């Protein structure tokens, strides 16, 4: 379990977008327009997956690494506080926390990096700043800010760690409560998407299909075929899956990028339902 650097995630996102663009462009240049129009929906679905899946995987791996650190921060602070009560220095306290396996990877690996940097002559404050910049987590940032401020103001580090231990536990409980409170809103997004799919299928099968070919009122112009309406709802389904997924990520994880996996799941569900109940143009 390792951190996925932000630069790698950005490069992967850029390459995915380029590949998605080529998926739409190359068939347009090589195929007759009629054939391209028949498979356009499938090309849009494929391009959407190609643009989202790599970024979603890398974001998931990076967040798993980050969450493993954040969940163990209270244990780290508690271990340091208890070790310093016995008179150990901050460096020895960190070493004891790792040796006693009070924290697991990936946090134990980060602590070892701090210890190595301090053994090379880096001050404790500088090592904390590097740790804060490397992890890029709100919880870690709060922890480092408290300790650094106490160090600069001449406070006793032992007392700071004792107070911070309780603070970290409270923050962890607040985050867990917030996650449980936001979970019903994720369900609302999924239910709303399924209602949209149900209405779209019912309109196409029970309303537009029976009147296909009938003449419009006061004119001799026939009503357009059901495939036009199917295409309309299909494209709206992809847009709803993308926007709804990103919204789910913002609500559930307070991060828009966290909604990539939801967008993928919603788009796959929507495509499968449309494929079975409203076959694509090239199958008709």
Q: Residue 85 is part of which domain span?
A: 72-175
2 burial (CB, 10 Å; 0-12 / 13-18 / 19+) is exposed
Whether 76 is covered by a domain: the verdict is yes
User: pLDDT tens across 64-89, in order?
Assistant: 999 888 888 888 888 887 887 777 77
Q: Which pLDDT value is given to residue 211?
A: 64
Among 83-87, 141-145, 210-214, 273-277, the range with the most confident prediction by mean pLDDT is 273-277
Q: Find the helix packing angle between 226-253 and 40-85, rounded to 10°.
A: 10
Percentage of the chain exceeding pLDDT 90? 33
Whether 181 maps to a domain, the answer reads no
Asked if the model's pLDDT at residue 217 lies above 70, the reply is no
pLDDT tens per residue across span 30-69: 999 888 888 888 999 999 999 999 999 999 999 999 988 8
Angle at 70 between CA 137 and CA 81, to 5 degrees: 110
Number of domains composing the chain: 1
Tell the residue number behind the tokens 């709303």, with chain if given: 192
Residue 145 has pLDDT above 90, yes or no: no
Which pLDDT band, with edges at 50, 70 and 90, does 271 fall under? very high
Bigger pLDDT: 55 vs 158: 55
pLDDT of 84 reads 73
pLDDT category, 12, cuts 50, 70, 90?
A: very high
Q: Please state, in angstroms and as integers, the Cα–Cα distance from residue 221 to each residue in 203, 218, 229, following that order.
A: 21, 9, 17
Contact 104, 170 (CB under 8 A): no
In a domain, 170, yes or no: yes
pLDDT recorded at residue 71: 86
Whether 1 and 106 have beta carbons less than 8 Å apart is answered as yes
Span 243-257, average pLDDT: 90
Token readout for 130 is: 């590097």
The verdict on residue 87 lying in a domain is yes
DSSP notation for the chain: -----HHHHHHHHHHHHHHHHHHHHHHHHHS-HHHHHHTHHHHHHHHHHHHHHHHHHHHHHHHHHHHHHHHHHHHHHHHHHHHHHTT--HHHHHHHHHHTTSS-TTHHHHHHHHHHHHHTT--HHHHHHHHHHHH--HHHHHHHHHHHHHHHTT--HHHHHHHHHHHHHHHHHHHHHHHHHHHHHHHHHHHHHHHHHHHHHHHIIIIITTTTTPBPTTS-PBPPPHHHHHHHHHHHHHHHHHHHHHHHHHHHHS-SGGGHHHHHHHHHHHHHHHHHHS--GGG-
Per-residue pLDDT at 195: 95
pLDDT for res 284: 55
pLDDT over threshold 60, residue 222: no
Q: Which residue has the tokens 């036009």?
A: 228
Tell whether 184 is covered by a domain.
no
Percent of the chain with pLDDT strictly greater than 70: 89
Closest CA relative to residue 211, chosen from 236, 190, 237, 229? 229
The answer to the question of residue 122 being in a domain is: yes
Q: Is 220 exposed, middle or buried (0-12, 13-18, 19+ CB in 10 A)?
A: exposed
pLDDT at position 214 is: 60
- Work out the average pLDDT over 148-169: 70
Name the residue with tokens 């917030």: 178
**1 — pLDDT class (breaks 50, 70, 90):** low
């Amino acid at each position: 379990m390792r951190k996925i650097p932000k630069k790698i995630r950005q490069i992967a996102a850029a390459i995915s977008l380029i590949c998605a663009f080529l998926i739409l462009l190359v068939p347009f240049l090589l195929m007759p327009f009629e054939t391209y129009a028949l498979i356009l929906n499938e090309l849009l679905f494929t391009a959407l997956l190609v643009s989202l899946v790599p970024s979603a995987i890398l974001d998931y791996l990076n967040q798993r690494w980050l969450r493993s650190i954040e969940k163990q921060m209270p244990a780290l602070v508690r271990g340091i506080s208890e070790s310093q009560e016995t008179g150990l220095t901050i460096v020895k306290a960190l070493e004891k926390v790792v040796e006693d396996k009070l924290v697991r990877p990936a946090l134990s690996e980060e602590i070892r990096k701090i210890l190595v940097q301090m053994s090379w002559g880096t001050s404790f404050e500088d090592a904390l700043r590097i740790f804060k910049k490397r992890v890029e987590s709100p919880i870690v940032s709060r922890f480092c800010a408290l300790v650094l401020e106490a160090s600069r103001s001449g406070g006793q580090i032992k007392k700071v760690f004792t107070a911070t231990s309780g603070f970290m536990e409270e923050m962890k409980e607040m985050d867990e409560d917030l996650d449980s409170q936001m979970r019903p809103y994720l369900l609302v997004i999924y239910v709303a998407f399924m209602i949209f799919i149900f209405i779209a299928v019912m309109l196409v099968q029970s309303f537009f299909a029976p009147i296909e070919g009938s003449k419009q009122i006061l004119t001799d112009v026939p009503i357009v075929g059901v495939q036009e309406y199917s295409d309309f709802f299909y494209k709206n389904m992809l847009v709803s899956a993308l926007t709804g997924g990103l919204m789910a990520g913002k609500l559930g994880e307070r991060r828009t990028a966290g909604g990539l996996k939801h967008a993928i799941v919603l788009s796959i569900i929507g495509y499968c339902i449309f494929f079975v109940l409203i076959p694509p143009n090239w199958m008709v």
